[in-house]
Amino acid sequence: MVMHKKRRLTSFQAIILGFAGVILIGALLLMTPMASASGKVTPFNEALFTSTSAVCVTGLIVQDTGAYWTLFGQMVIIILIQIGGLGVITTAAAIAMLAGRKISLFQRSTMQDALSAPKVGGIVRLTGFILRATLLIELLGAVIMAPVFCRDFGLKGLWMAVFHSISAFCNAGFDILGSPDALFPSLTAYGDNAVINTAIMLLIIVGGIGFLTWEDICINKYHVRRYRMQSKVILVTTAALILLPAIFFFFQDFSDLPLGERILASFFQSVTPRTAGFNTVELGAMTSAGQGIMILLMLIGGSPGSTAGGMKTTTLAILMANAKATFCRREEVQVFGRSIENSTVKNAATILMMYGILFFGGGVIISAAEGLPLGTCLYETASAVGTVGLTLGITPKLGVLSQSILIALMFLGRVGGLTLIYATFSAKSGSHSRLPAEQITVG
Q: Which of the residue ranges 82-86, 413-417, 438-442 would you say has the lowest mean pLDDT?
A: 438-442
Return d(Cα 400, Cα 204) in angstroms, integer: 31
> Residue 137: pLDDT above 70?
yes
Return d(Cα 376, Cα 301) in angstroms, integer: 19
Q: What distances in angstroms separate CA 313 from CA 12, 72, 302, 442, one per listed residue?
A: 22, 36, 6, 26
> Residue 104: pLDDT above 70?
no
Buried b (16+ CB within 10 A) or exposed e, 73-98: bbebbbbbbbbbbbbbbbbbbbebee
Q: Where are the domains of the chain?
A: 11-420
> How many other C-beta atoms lie within 10 A of the C-beta of residue 439?
4
The HSE-up count of residue 397 (CA atoms within 13 Å, CB side) is 13
What does the pLDDT look like over 347-403, one tens digit per residue?
Answer: 899 889 989 999 999 999 999 999 999 999 999 999 999 888 888 888 888 999 999
pLDDT band, very low/low/confident/very high, at 2 (cuts 50, 70, 90): very low
What DSSP state is assigned to residue 11?
A: H
User: Which is more confidently placed, 275 or 157?
Assistant: 157
For helices 156-169 and 123-153, the axis angle rounded to 10 degrees is 140
Q: Which residues are bridge partners to 36 per DSSP? A: 69
The HSE-up count of residue 401 (CA atoms within 13 Å, CB side) is 9
Q: Quick one: pLDDT at residue 180?
A: 47
| Count of residues in the chain | 443
Query: CA torsion angle for 421, 422, 423, 429 (degrees, to 10)?
Result: 110
Q: What would you report as the CA-atom Rg of the chain, rounded to the nearest whole angstrom?
A: 22
Return d(Cα 277, Cα 389) in angstroms, integer: 4
Return d(Cα 254, Cα 92) in angstroms, integer: 44
Q: Quick one: pLDDT at residue 343?
A: 87
Return d(Cα 196, Cα 193) in angstroms, integer: 6
φ/ψ of 175, rounded to 5, equals -135, 160
Q: What value does the mean pLDDT of the chain take?
A: 85
pTM of the predicted structure, to 2 decimals: 0.87
Q: Quick one: pLDDT at residue 138?
A: 94
Q: Quick one: pLDDT at residue 118?
A: 65
Q: Quick one: pLDDT at residue 421?
A: 64
Contact 114, 122 (CB under 8 A): no
Return d(Cα 27, Cα 8) in angstroms, integer: 28
Q: Which residues are bridge partners to 69 per DSSP? A: 36
